[in-house]
Structure 1
Amino acid sequence: MPDSLLQLGRIIGVHGLNGTIQIHSDTRPAIGIAGYSRWWVGAHAMAAKPVRVCRCWAHGKRILAQLEGVAHIEAAEALRGQLIFIQRTQVPVGEDEYLWQDLVGCAVVDVELGPIGRVVALTDYGAQDILIVRGDAHSVREGEWMIPFTSQIIRDVDLKTAQITVALPEGMDACFTPN
């Protein structure tokens, strides 16, 4: 089951006395997590158990939820720090679309430079997603790259071989931090 689960967020606290939990959502927009009526909750994917979401809503800048079987503050407090997952099949992925979770760990190879590292994280600064790529002793340079995930730079994503081919434009050295 763990390979079929995608992490969507985590439980960061409680709200009130009736078992309402506060969520940190990894979805964009954050309230997107409310679109799923069944979550898997646990310390990690192997320990996650299914739970029905009775209600999930935005409250100011917070995301709150009520889960079936969690009706008191004590039960909600016991969930603090737990991760929230959904089944991968619940997320439609179109052609040329990728889940961030699938890109982490992929080798990144530049068409001219060769191996530049592995994706360690992704982030979003608004204009586009950014690959955080860490180069090691087997890479052209040791350090960290911030590579925009755009069609001008990304040439190919092969999830079967876990490799992303890029064509870094001139001036990309500004997006590199040496070790």
Structure 2
Amino acid sequence: MVVLGRIAAPFGVQGWLHIQVFGDDPQTWKVIEHWYASREADAPATRWSLLEPDGFKLQTKGPVIRFRGYPDRTAAEALVGFYLAVPKQDLPDTGEGEYYWGDLVGLEVTNLQGQRLGRVERLMETGANDVLVVRDAVAGTDKAVERLIPFVSAVVKTVDQEAGRLSVDWDFQW
């Protein structure tokens, strides 16, 4: 499953819900026929419940969606806080230089000097740009160093999904 967002709040009285978007380009989501919801973003596939969309609109503050079986605000409120995901094969293809967040999680990160900075644990949206959360275990301890690296072209130089690597212009000490 690829988590696309989280249900943030009801919108109106007819069962519409605001989606907190994790990533870019929600306008391509109009074609998604089956959504899955779970209280946990990292839940196994068996713990996601199928939801069928009954409408999808882009508003100035982000997308809103309505699901079959949730005809009014009261019913829809039960979904607030759930994560929304779809199977990867149901997502539109990405363009050149575009990635789903889930494709980046787990990649090994090295800087231009060849120093290992860790692995991408997750991404977060800051408003200005997305940020890679990179963790690296400290040898001989149970501790880890966490680095927050902006996911922007000035910093991220290469992404090689097949090799499982990401190269960044980032100092080891930062």
Query: Normalization by structure 1: what TM-score?
Result: 0.70
User: Superposed, which structure 2 residues align to 1:31-110 within 5 Å?
Assistant: 31-44=27-40, 45=43, 46=45, 47-91=47-91, 92-93=93-94, 98-110=99-111
Flag the 1:155–1:26 CA change in 2: closer, same or farther, 3 A.
closer
1:100 Cα offset (Å): 1.6
Instruction: Assess if the C-alpha contact under 8 Å between 1:22 and 1:64 holds in 2.
Output: yes
Secondary structure at the counterpart of residue 135 of structure 1:
strand
Quick one: distance in 2 between partners of 1:127 and 1:13? 23
Gap change, CA 1:14 and 1:129, over 3 Å in 2: closer
Number of equivalences: 165
Contact 1:12–1:80 (Cα < 8 Å) also in 2: yes
The corresponding residue for 2:19 is: 23
Identity of aligned residues (%): 23
Aligned amino acid, residue 103 of structure 1: L
Q: What corresponds to 1:12 in structure 2? A: 8
CA contact (8 A) 1:109 1:116 kept: yes
1:40-61 CA distances to partner (integer Å, 9 max, x unpaired)? 1222344222222111112331
Displacement after TM superposition at 1:79 (Å): 0.6
Q: Which amino acid aligns with 1:60?
A: T
Deviations 1:94-129 (A, max 9, x none): 676542212112222346443221113335789986
CA contact 1:37–1:52 (8 Å) conserved in 2? yes
Q: Secondary structure at the match of 1:78?
A: helix
The question of 1:144 aligning with 2:144 is answered no
Structure-2 separation of matches of 1:147 and 1:22:
26
RMSD of the TM alignment (CA)? 3.3
Stretches of structure 2 lacking an aligned partner (at least 5 in a row): none
Query: Looking at CA atoms only, which structure, 1 or 2, has the larger radius of gyration?
Result: 1
Mapped to 1, the partners of 2:52 and 2:70 lie a distance apart of 10
Question: Match for 1:70: what amino acid?
Answer: Y
- One-letter code aligned to 1:40: Y
Q: Is the 8 A contact 1:25 1:33 kept in 2?
A: no
Q: Which has the higher contact order (CA 8 A, sep 6+)?
A: 2
**1:134 CA displacement:** 3.0
Q: TM-score, normalised by structure 2?
A: 0.72
Contact 2:7–2:80, Cα closer than 8 Å, also in 1: yes
The SS at the match of 2:79 is coil
* Residue 156 of structure 1: how far off its partner (Å): 5.5
Taking the aligned partners of 2:155 and 2:23, their CA distance within structure 1 comes to: 25
Structure 1: 4+ residue segments shifted above 4 A: 93-97, 123-130, 147-153
Change (3 A) 1:89 1:116: same
Distance 1:127 1:22 in 2: 21
What's the secondary structure of 1:102's corresponding residue?
helix
